[in-house]
Amino acid sequence: MPDPVLVKGKACMVFGTQWGDEGKGKLVDILADEADVIARCAGGNNAGHTIVVGDAHYDFHLLPSGIISENTLSVIGNGVVVHIESMFAEAAKNEKKGLKNWQDRLVISDRAHIVFDLHQEIDGLQEVEKSAGGKSIGTTKKGIGPTYSSKTERTGLRMAELLGDFSEFSERFRTMVAGAQMRHSDLVVDVEAELAKYKELAEEVRPMVKDTVYVMYDALQKNQAVLVEGANAQMLDIDFGTFPYVTSSSCSVGGACTGLGLPPSKLERVFGVVKAYTTRVGGGAFPTEQLNDDGEKLQQVGAEFGVTTGRKRRCGWLDLVVVKYTHMINDLYSMMITKLDVLDDFAEIKVGIKYSHKGQPLDNFPACMDVLNEVEVEYVTLPGWQTSIKDCRTYDDLPENAKNYLKFIADFLGVPIQWIGVGPKRDSTIRVF
């Protein structure tokens, strides 16, 4: 048996290094057997993680991917925003695929803010307004941004309020609706119907809601291994991503502390998930995007459609400027390279290694999107392997050019590769050390 990757009495984190859809859920699933607790720290049901076990394809958006591990406690932290109805619908959908007894293994923070239907309506209205000005962000319209806005404005409502005095909750809900309608005259909310619905949902969700600060503290005191599952990805981070084409939460390692109440000293290892090429959904700069046959081939072979939205993903070559920037912020312990098999049929594979702007080399990742949209990318071209690697299960099984591609990535970043994904299934993974 290989040595354990997770550390007892500490927390380790899995997160995406690019613009999302890297395959984080697969690594969480691989590590689930070592974990005692698997926790979400940010985002909401705008995330999308697919787990393939045998013939079953589990799709998770709000529930932690580790929920299928029956020996593990799953935690939705205070940094997550929760659309309660969608959570139950997601669970019901996955129950049909084999998910069992999930209610007994899920804890939701009493400090987690609630995504209401009105937040989703506002999300759609805001996208229409931005589209009219030619500046659509391309959000999932799941109400995530408006909910975080309510949180920041201190008008939002949390699980704690829902499960407290319902008359007080009702009054605060009415105030929130009135304020939202002042800003969005087209917003229609049946307040009484919503309150009746949430009175029922409160009792359904009540057994799962706890103070997760104490849950996490207790787990670490008991020398348990905690795995934090990041949502979205570094380049969608509200502070360090390609603003304004980002999500509304902290997707970096800092989100593990603020979104779960974890002391920084307890965060031991950060595992970065890197897709072997680059994709993103929605608007925003994408320096290595390939609007040509190569991009179309990556999209088709990689089946690049969003789990949450179903939208076609934009595709391009691996951008190591992006991943290096991510490493600077998060100090990666090791990496998982996913979907390497998608590159099987390419005679040549390009890798972006440096940016320049108007002929001048750039030493940093640009904060200004006007600059990032205009950068020229310097590429290294590597020979492809032009043979299927789907059945490879050890590093030595890989063709030499595939090894060279991986070595180039690891050497450029100075970060070891610990796992390699060569297919969608759980066992389609090579562990390197």
Helices 191-205 and 84-95: crossing angle in degrees, nearest 10, is 50
Check whether 96 is labelled as a binding-site residue: no
Residue 101 known to bind ligand: no
Q: Is 266 annotated as a binding residue?
A: no
Bridge partner residues of 429 (DSSP):
421
Which of 21, 29, 110, 319 is catalytic? The answer is 21
Could you confirm whether 354 is annotated as catalytic?
no
25 is an annotated ligand-binding site residue? yes
Read off the tokens for 126.
Answer: 């805001």
Closest among 242, 236, 264, 186 to 371, alpha carbons compared:
242
Residue 183 is labelled as binding a ligand? no
**Any known ligand binding at 340?**
yes
Q: For residue 141, say whether it is annotated as part of any ligand binding site.
A: no
Query: Would you tell me how many other CB atoms lie within 10 Å of the CB of residue 323?
Result: 25
Q: Is 308 annotated as a binding residue?
A: yes
Annotated ligand binding at 313? The verdict is yes
Annotation-wise, does 278 bind a ligand?
no
Burial label for 186, CB within 10 Å (0-12, 13-18, 19+), is: exposed
256 is in an annotated binding site: no
Half-sphere exposure of 223 (CA within 13 A, CB side): 0
Which has the closest alpha carbon to 20: 251, 352, 267?
251
210 is in an annotated binding site: no
Q: 61, 119, 141, 151: which is the annotated catalytic residue?
A: 151
Q: Is 20 annotated as a binding residue?
A: yes
Residue 403 annotated in ligand binding = no
Residue 21 is a catalytic residue? yes
Spatial distance between the Cα atoms of 163 and 362, rounded to a whole number of angstroms: 52
358 among the known binding-site residues?
Answer: no
Location of structure tokens 């207790």:
218
State yes or no: 326 annotated in a binding site. Answer: no
- H or E stretch covering 27: helix 24-31
How far is residue 383's CA from residue 199's CA, in Å, rounded to a whole number? 61
Type of residue found at 272: G
Pairing relation of β-strands 429-431 and 417-421?
Answer: antiparallel
Tell whether 311 is in a known binding site. Answer: yes
Task: Based on the residue annotation, tell me whether 151 is a catalytic residue of this protein.
Answer: yes
373 carries a ligand binding annotation: no
> Considering 29, 49, 83, 319, which one is annotated as catalytic?
49
Sequence length of the chain is 433
Angle value at C-alpha 262, between 261 and 268, nearest 5 degrees:
165
359 is in an annotated binding site: no
Contacts of 96 (CB under 8 A, 6+ apart): none
Residue 273: beta bridge partners?
Answer: 16, 336
- Angle of helix 320-330 relative to helix 400-413, nearest 10 degrees, comes to 50
Peptide bond into 244 cis (omega under 30): yes
22 known member of a binding site: yes
Detail the residues annotated as belonging to a binding site for IMP: 21-24, 46-49, 140, 154, 232, 247, 311
Binding-site positions for Mg(2+) read 21, 48
Binding residues: 20-26, 46-50, 140, 154, 232, 247, 307-313, 339-341, 421-423
Known binding residues for substrate are 307-313
* Positions marked catalytic: 21, 49, 151
Q: Which residues are annotated as a binding site for GTP?
A: 20-26, 48-50, 313, 339-341, 421-423
